[in-house]
Amino acid sequence: MFEEIARRGLVLLGCGKMGSAMLEGWLTQGLEPGAVWVIDPKPSDWVTGTGVHVNEALPESPAVVLIAVKPQMMGDALPDIDRYGNGSTLYVSIAAGTTLGFFEDLLGEASPIVRAMPNTPAAVGRGITAIVGNPRVAPAQMDMAEGLLDAIGQVVRLEDEGQMDAVTAVSGSGPAYVFHLIETMAAAGVAEGLPEELAMRLATATVAGAGALAETSGEDPGQLRVNVTSPGGTTAAALEVLMEEEAGFPGLLKRAVKAAAERSRELAG
């Protein structure tokens, strides 16, 4: 994957938490620091100490430009890299809510562009990123994009860009749902008499451990739920409340994900 990048270079536009996580992953996997150019108005000490080019003159025709700035900063940032448009440089964007069409209008319809939607656990290498490319992206370029994003977790390919709103609602916004679950589980534990610190520790470790088990056990989450639920026991009592069709998790999460997907469509439109 890195051969083409080593020869032509990679430009990382924006190096905040997500950009730094990717950069660390690439360097750990063997990418030479001299093959990376970082554009960032306030680079961290860690970034400047890696040996990459920071805010220096850019390569003539990089293999990849990875756009890792927030959507509201896009207008100021894109002039730095739009000169590569309609060429062989692959653009990869992790900017939320920014469509392929948006970039095609600014960079040229002949530009190969991949839109990616990571989530915040990517900052610790445990994210999942969905990607989709425009028709100009060659198979080898899609493989390159997947390989680069693999540095921050799992990568899945979408059939079409229309699925991105649902991805945003499930995995993009999803960590916030889980964090809120931890908050509310801890608060419920406090209401039942636990000290706050202990309740939060129990809730956090339980969610983290259950997620790891769901990911590694090979069993369906529904079966894992059955495995821990004794008939007439404490878990069954709780699930009677949580699994109510409208008031419980099924109806609540369906409405929440729908609201997030609709908002994603509004922002992209």
Q: How far apart are CA 148 and CA 141, in angstroms?
A: 11
For the chain, what is the largest distance between any 2 Cα atoms, rounded to a whole number of angstroms? 69
Running DSSP on this structure, what letter comes out for residue 9? -
Report whether 254 belongs to an annotated binding site: no
Q: At 229, is the secondary structure helix, strand, or coil?
A: coil
Report whether 119 belongs to an annotated binding site: no
Report whether 18 belongs to an annotated binding site: yes
Report whether 62 belongs to an annotated binding site: no
Report whether 90 belongs to an annotated binding site: no
Q: How far apart are CA 38 and CA 119, in angstroms?
A: 21
Report whether 70 belongs to an annotated binding site: yes
Which of 259, 220, 226, 262 minimizes the C-alpha distance to 243?
226
Q: How far apart are CA 267 and CA 178, in angstroms?
A: 23
Q: How far apart are CA 256 and CA 269, in angstroms?
A: 20
Report whether 13 belongs to an annotated binding site: yes
DSSP 3-state percent helix, strand, coil across the chain (nearest 5): 55, 15, 30
Report whether 15 belongs to an annotated binding site: yes
Positive or negative, the Cα torsion across 64, 70, 71, 72?
Answer: negative
Q: How far apart are CA 39 and CA 55, in angstroms?
A: 5
Report whether 106 belongs to an annotated binding site: no
**Backbone φ, ψ for residue 53 (5° rounding):** -75, 125
Report whether 17 belongs to an annotated binding site: yes
Q: How many CB atoms sit inside 10 A of residue 229's CB?
A: 15
Binding-site residue positions for NADPH: 55
Binding-site residue positions: 13-18, 55, 68-71
Binding-site residue positions for NADP(+): 13-18, 68-71
